Amino acid sequence: MKSPIAKVRKHIRSNLFFVEMIIVLLFFSIASAVILRSFAASDRLAKESRRIESMAFLAQSAAEIYSGTADISETAEKLLSGKPYTYNEYPDGSQEISFSMDTETTVRLRESSEIYAGGPLKILEISFSDGSGGILYETKTGAYFPERTVTDSERQ
Amino acid sequence: MNGSENKRPAGIGTGYLSIMMIFVVLCMTMLAALSYSAASAEKGFSLKSGEYTAEYYAADLEANRTLAEIDGIAAEYSDYADLSFISEIEEMEGMELKQLPDSIEISWLTPINDRQSISSSVRYSGGGYVITEWRTVLTSDTESKPLNVWSGE
């Protein structure tokens, strides 16, 4: 049979253990909440950087195709390879093609011209906007194909 | 002396949980900090890369605009060795002219940013032009500057 003092000691130890466990669980849950928020922020940053990269790659592809074709429709055909897009023509002669890059991002390609004595300089504006219409990324490129005879160009 | 009184209690003793918790929280904090800094650096790199792409194509457009201006002047002349043509080109800012036996070469730089430019050259002969150069070049002398490190003296 155990003595009453041993029983009290065991009881105190057991209580101390439970108090410690409660403190540990409390602290651990607070720390976990903070750490999980940090992981969520990292995930959001990674998604944002992937989105920026995708936009830059798509803009680069469009610019490269356009510099070789100087035609907005051909650029869209080659860029989208058969996927649907919306075509608009404006009274000032500029043309616009828009399509969705993903569920949140809309891409707009707008072509305009500057007339020079040798021929037109065609300009393609590439812009990416979110659902609210805010511009996320934009760039411009141009292609000059003179109307008169020009020997084959060699770009390096 | 009674041996049973010195026996340690079975199970987890007081303090072990705290130590384990500190270790786990430290590990998780380190992982979270590392993942956040990696994601932040990746975003910074993506932003810079995207910015550079936009800058490059904006400079490419400007270089094309200059080419269109030059070609607009050239369209009015049948002979590229004409002194009026040469003087008109020379009046344009940043143009370099090189007269060759049967042609004329015009070169110009279009800045992309404070370190790089697009170097373009066109050669006019006979019926039109040939682009002889269209490439990115370094314009700042950052490469030739030595690193500011301790030399051991």
Question: Residues in chain A, how many?
Answer: 156
**pLDDT reported for residue B10:** 54
- The DSSP annotation for chain A comes to ---HHHHHHHHHHHHHHHHHHHHHHHHHHHHHHHHHHHHHHHHHHHHHHHHHHHHHHHHHHHHHHHHHH--HHHHHHHHHTT---EEEE-TTS-EEEEEESSSS-EEEEEEEEEEETTEEEEEEEEEEE-TT--EEEEEEEEEE--SS--PPP---
Complex ipTM value: 0.80
Rounded mean pLDDT of chain A? 87
- Whether residues A153 and B131 touch (CB distance < 8 A) is answered with yes
Residue A96 pLDDT greater than 50, yes or no: yes
Mean pLDDT of the region B104-119: 93
The torsion angle over the Cα atoms of residues A108, B49, A79 and B65, rounded to 10 degrees, is: 70
Q: How many CA atoms lie within 13 A of A7 on its CB side?
A: 4
- Which residues in chain A have Cβ-Cβ distances shorter than 8 Å to B60? 63, 67, 141-142
Residue B1 pLDDT greater than 60, yes or no: no
Residue A123 pLDDT greater than 90, yes or no: yes
**pLDDT reported for residue A17:** 84
Residue B2 pLDDT greater than 70, yes or no: no
Under the banding of pLDDT at 50, 70 and 90, the label for residue B152 is confident
Is B77 within 8 Å of chain A by CB? Answer: no
Under the banding of pLDDT at 50, 70 and 90, the label for residue A92 is confident
Least confident of A102-106, A125-129, A144-148, B118-122: A144-148
How confident is the model over B13-67, as pLDDT tens digits? 778 888 999 999 999 999 999 999 999 999 999 999 999 999 999 999 999 999 9
Residue A6 pLDDT greater than 80, yes or no: no
- Whether residues A45 and B25 touch (CB distance < 8 A) is answered with no
- Which residues in chain B have Cβ-Cβ distances shorter than 8 Å to A139? 53-54, 57-58
Least confident of A15-19, A130-134, B144-148: B144-148
Minimum distance, in Å, between the CA of residue B150 and any CA atom of chain A: 37
How confident is the model over A125-144, as pLDDT tens digits? 999 998 888 999 999 999 99
Minimum distance, in Å, between the CA of residue A77 and any CA atom of chain B: 21
- Whether residues A114 and B65 touch (CB distance < 8 A) is answered with yes
Backbone phi and psi for residue A46, each to the nearest 5 degrees, phi listed first = -65, -40
Is A59 within 8 Å of chain B by CB? Answer: yes
Spell out the domain ranges in chain A: 4-144
- Whether residues A38 and B36 touch (CB distance < 8 A) is answered with yes
- Whether residues B47 and A52 touch (CB distance < 8 A) is answered with yes
Rounded to two decimals, what is the model's pTM?
0.81
Is A26 within 8 Å of chain B by CB? Answer: no
Least confident of A39-48, A142-151, B14-23: A142-151
Q: What letter would DSSP give residue B100?
A: -
- Whether residues A53 and B50 touch (CB distance < 8 A) is answered with yes
Under the banding of pLDDT at 50, 70 and 90, the label for residue A14 is confident
Is B65 within 8 Å of chain A by CB? Answer: yes
Instruction: Name which of A128, A38, A46 is nearest B43 in CA terms.
Output: A46
Residue A1 pLDDT greater than 70, yes or no: no
Spatial neighbors of B8 by CB under 8 A, at least 6 apart, are none
Minimum distance, in Å, between the CA of residue A6 and any CA atom of chain B: 8
- Whether residues B64 and A140 touch (CB distance < 8 A) is answered with no
Spell out the domain ranges in chain B: 30-138
**pLDDT reported for residue A148:** 60
Minimum distance, in Å, between the CA of residue A16 and any CA atom of chain B: 7
Facing residue for B14 by CB, picked from A20, A56, A119: A20
